[in-house]
Amino acid sequence: MSSIKLTADSGGGTFEIKAPASSSNTRVLTLPDTGSYILGGKILQVVTGTSTSAATTASTTYAEITSDLRCTIVPSAANSKIIISASLYYSHNGHVITTRILKDGSTLVSGGTTANTHDGDQATYVAADYMVRQNITVVDTAGDTSSRYYTPFWNTDTATAYLNRYYANTSYDGTSSMTVMEVAV
């Protein structure tokens, strides 16, 4: 039986490709003889935004939470996937906070519905006396290599919602963040 064996330089493991045990089980692997190749799933770039500042909203219409969380990225390939993750530290006195991740401040990345006032990527009921972390991940296809930014927008059903602090006083603070990754396909 023929085989090809690759052994790591630094004494690591090996990778071996072996031929089938019989000729009736023949398989052919053909590789192109020109071009350059990027294996799918490789992370090409990462952009982050962080906010420790407190923010509030009492609005039932969507507004950008804070420009501190904006992540601007210029994709290197039109077919790349863009993975957007937000981790938002919220408090409220027993009401709903809804969040949308928007591209360039206007396009809902997830493609979900925006028909209702509180449609979004995630809605969280925050009970009185609690602080919560709302984690959202959405995926976009680059489509082109133009610069764009991603940012979270929020609204509430009533009263005031808080980012990065406890609603009842300023003794309990937190941090919110956004991460945008370009991934090769």
134, 99 Cβ separation under 8 angstroms: yes
The larger pLDDT score, comparing residue 105 to residue 170, is at: 105
Q: What is the pLDDT of residues 107-164, one digit of tens each?
A: 999 877 777 777 888 888 988 888 999 999 999 999 999 999 999 999 999 999 999 9
Q: What is the pLDDT of residues 29-80, one digit of tens each?
A: 665 666 655 556 799 999 999 999 999 999 999 999 999 999 999 999 999 9
**pTM flag (> 0.75):** yes
Give backbone dihedrals phi and psi of 26, rounded to 5 degrees, phi first. Answer: -75, 135
150, 9 Cβ separation under 8 angstroms: no
Give, in words, the CATH class of 43-183.
mainly beta
Q: 154: closest CA among 83, 94, 69?
A: 69
Q: Please tell me the distance from the alpha carbon of residue 150 to that of residue 48, in angstroms, as a whole number.
A: 10
